[in-house]
């Protein structure tokens, strides 16, 4: 019986170990470690993380991933490694940091150091123009800077580019009828040697009548370390035609204007997690997508923060588009939300990945151009910490004693 229990315990710990590694692999991409680091293929934006646990102690690694500023403060050096930019805070928890380290330890044993990669691709022609061969342009990208450009011709619509370095990001583009078709910037994972890509070309149109926003979502969270509300805004846009919509442009600006989306005021740290910032025109109250929209759907995601003060924070905007459905998801146990300007329904929501938090969903529908919305956030719990309460009591005592001594003198 005891042997059976030991066997079960072994299985439990082995399964947990593999689970931690799998979750670490997922986090390595989700937390955008992959945008700056490779494993076993040399330097990238940041250092190569091959056998990183043999170079630094585990407590430093955890702290480095969780809060890099603490490491810089601890060693009095920023950046810690010369020749690299300082690592930003990527909002990774301690438990998530441990899982990423487990993944790095595991993958360091499996990866082939210095391995080369290849890209195989095809061009699908859905336009009325007869199929032709294309010149494919491959850009190597470091952060948002193009370092090198390579060109290769297709053969019967296919192309192959091999013997490439794995410690760089890539982007592929072609031109058809004067319109650029391109992939997003992409990376190779540590064990990935080959990647397949497809580019599809269409007839083009400037008719915007088939372009619509299907839905919009605001996902709200609260960062208690920085005392800010963090918001991810998601627009689901759809092109109902069978042609690529390439919008309009000013003769002085080569970038196309595909769709304009309104921004809230009183926000900071605007960021586009899945796109280069350069693919948008940004003003104080709106962003404009500049990448032509092919048939089907496109999701535009951007994030920002609004700082809370003693009275909270209020943001507002005027809608520039018709929106059939707007949903706002808020962790009710972390931040309070008040909505003005639009009618809404409210209900509790369960999010599978965040079962330990209480979320509520605010739903709005049939939003028209020119409608306005105002969101007021507060988190009074953060202002009633023991330190603040003691300070407040001290101030009250000082005021009371001052009044007492003044009266006594009189």
- Partner residues linked to 231 by β-bridges: 220, 304
Q: 293: exposed, middle or buried (C-beta count within 10 Å: 0-12, 13-18, 19+)?
A: buried
DSSP E strands in 126-256: the ranges are 135-142, 145-153, 158-164, 169-176, 179-182, 194-201, 204-205, 211-223, 228-239, 244-245
Tokens representing residue 181 in the block:
């078709």
In this predicted model, what pLDDT tens digit does every residue of 282-302 receive, in sequence order?
999 999 999 999 999 999 999
Does residue 400 belong to any structural domain of this protein? no
Identify which has the larger pLDDT, 155 or 74.
Answer: 155
For range 126-144, the mean pLDDT: 88
Under 8 Å between Cβ of 162 and 88: no
Place of tokens 């899945």: 274
- Kindly state the helix (H) or strand (E) to which residue 103 belongs, with its residue range: helix 94-110
Judge if 241 and 302 occupy the same domain: yes
Please, what is the angle between helix 94-110 and helix 2-30, to 10°?
Answer: 90
pLDDT of residue 71: 83
Judge if 128 and 224 occupy the same domain: no
In this predicted model, what pLDDT tens digit does every residue of 14-60 receive, in sequence order?
444 446 788 888 888 888 888 889 898 888 888 888 998 888 888 88
Under 8 Å between Cβ of 23 and 100: no
> Among the three residues 63, 95, 110, which one is the final residue of a domain in this structure?
110
Does residue 59 belong to any structural domain of this protein? yes
Does residue 89 belong to any structural domain of this protein? yes
Q: 336: exposed, middle or buried (C-beta count within 10 Å: 0-12, 13-18, 19+)?
A: middle
> Among the three residues 201, 221, 241, which one is the final residue of a domain in this structure?
201
Judge if 195 and 149 occupy the same domain: yes
Q: What percent of the chain has pLDDT over 70?
A: 84
Looking from the CA of 52 toward its CB, the CA atoms found within 13 Å total: 27
Counting the structural domains of the chain, the total is 3
Under 8 Å between Cβ of 163 and 138: no
pLDDT of residue 364: 97
We report the CATH number of the domain holding residue 366 as: 2.60.40
Pairing of β 323-331 and β 336-340? unpaired
Judge if 8 and 81 occupy the same domain: yes
Judge if 217 and 364 occupy the same domain: yes
Does residue 393 belong to any structural domain of this protein? no
Q: 10 Å Cβ neighbour count for 126?
A: 13
Query: Nearest-CA neighbor of 256 among 323, 304, 205?
Result: 205
We report the CATH number of the domain holding residue 43 as: 1.10.760.10
Pairing of β 179-182 and β 169-176? antiparallel
In this predicted model, what pLDDT tens digit does every residue of 223-261 receive, in sequence order?
887 889 999 999 999 999 999 998 877 656 677 899 999
Does residue 43 belong to any structural domain of this protein? yes
The SS3 assignment for 388 reads helix
Judge if 266 and 136 occupy the same domain: no
Full domain range(s) for residue 369: 210-378
Tell me what the pLDDT averaged over the chain comes to: 85
Judge if 39 and 99 occupy the same domain: yes
Judge if 228 and 373 occupy the same domain: yes
**CA torsion sign, 43 to 44 to 45 to 48?**
negative
Tokens representing residue 67 in the block:
């809060």
In this predicted model, what pLDDT tens digit does every residue of 399-409 receive, in sequence order?
555 665 555 55
Distance CA 135, CA 161 (A): 13
b/e per residue 131-148 (b: at least 16 CB within 10 A): eeebebbbbbbeeeeeee
Does residue 31 belong to any structural domain of this protein? yes
Place of tokens 């960021």: 271
Place of tokens 């043999």: 54
Pairing of β 323-331 and β 345-349? unpaired
Query: Nearest-CA neighbor of 260 among 219, 317, 304?
Result: 317
Under 8 Å between Cβ of 321 and 369: yes
pLDDT of residue 211: 96
For range 99-105, the mean pLDDT: 91
pLDDT of residue 224: 81
Identify which has the larger pLDDT, 133 or 251.
Answer: 133
We report the CATH number of the domain holding residue 134 as: 2.60.40.10
Identify which has the larger pLDDT, 13 or 320.
Answer: 320
Distances in whole angstroms, Cα of residue 28 to Cα of each of 54, 189, 356: 19, 10, 23
Does residue 326 belong to any structural domain of this protein? yes
Of 99-108, 198-207, 270-279, 311-320, give the lowest mean pLDDT range: 270-279
Pairing of β 268-271 and β 280-282? unpaired
Please, what is the angle between helix 94-110 and helix 58-66, to 10°?
Answer: 120
pTM for the predicted model, two decimal places: 0.70
Judge if 291 and 167 occupy the same domain: no
Distance CA 244, CA 294 (A): 4
Please, what is the angle between helix 58-66 and helix 68-75, to 10°?
Answer: 120
Q: Is the pLDDT of residue 5 over 50?
A: no
Tokens representing residue 367 in the block:
């939003």
Largest CA distance in the chain: 101
Distances in whole angstroms, Cα of residue 306 to Cα of each of 117, 217, 275, 309, 329: 42, 17, 22, 10, 16
């Amino acid at each position: 019986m005891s042997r059976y229990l030991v066997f079960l315990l072994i299985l439990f710990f082995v399964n947990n170990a593999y689970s931690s590694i799998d979750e670490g692999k997922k986090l390595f991409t989700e937390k955008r470690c992959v945008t700056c680091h490779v494993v076993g293929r040399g330097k990238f934006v940041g250092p190569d993380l091959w056998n990183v646990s043999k170079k630094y102690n585990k407590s430093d690694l955890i702290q480095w991933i969780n809060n890099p500023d603490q490491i810089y403060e601890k060693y009095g050096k920023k950046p810690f490694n010369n020749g690299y930019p300082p690592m930003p805070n990527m909002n990774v928890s301690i438990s998530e940091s441990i899982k990423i380290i487990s993944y790095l330890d595991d993958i360091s044993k499996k990866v082939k150091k210095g391995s080369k990669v290849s890209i195989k691709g095809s061009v699908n022609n859905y336009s009325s123009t007869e199929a032709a061969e294309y010149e494919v342009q491959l850009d190597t990208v470091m952060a948002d800077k193009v370092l090198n450009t390579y060109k290769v011709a297709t053969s019967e619509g296919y192309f192959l580019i091999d013997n490439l370095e794995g410690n760089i990001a890539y982007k592929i583009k072609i031109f058809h009828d004067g319109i650029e078709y391109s992939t997003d910037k992409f990376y190779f994972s540590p064990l990935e040697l080959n990647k397949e890509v497809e580019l599809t070309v269409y007839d083009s149109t400037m008719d915007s009548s088939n372009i619509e926003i299907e839905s919009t979502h605001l996902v709200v969270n609260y960062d208690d370390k920085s005392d800010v509300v963090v918001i991810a805004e998601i627009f689901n846009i759809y092109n109902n035609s069978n042609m690529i919509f390439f919008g309009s442009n000013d003769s002085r600006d080569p970038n196309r204007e595909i769709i304009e989306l309104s921004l809230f005021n009183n926000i900071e740290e605007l960021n586009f997690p899945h796109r280069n910032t350069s693919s948008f025109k940004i003003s104080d109250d709106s962003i404009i997508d500049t990448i032509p929209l092919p048939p089907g759907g496109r999701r535009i995601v951007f994030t920002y923060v609004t700082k809370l003060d003693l009275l909270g924070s209020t943001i507002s905007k005027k809608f520039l588009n018709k929106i059939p459905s707007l949903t706002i998801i808020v962790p009710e146990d972390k931040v309070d939300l008040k909505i003005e300007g639009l009618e809404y329904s409210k209900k509790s929501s369960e999010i599978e990945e965040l079962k330990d938090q209480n979320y509520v969903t605010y739903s709005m529908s049939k939003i028209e151009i020119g409608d306005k919305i105002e969101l007021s956030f507060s988190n009074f719990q953060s202002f009633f910490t023991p330190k603040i309460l003691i300070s407040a009591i001290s101030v009250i005592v000082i005021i009371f004693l001052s009044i007492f001594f003044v009266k006594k003198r009189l």
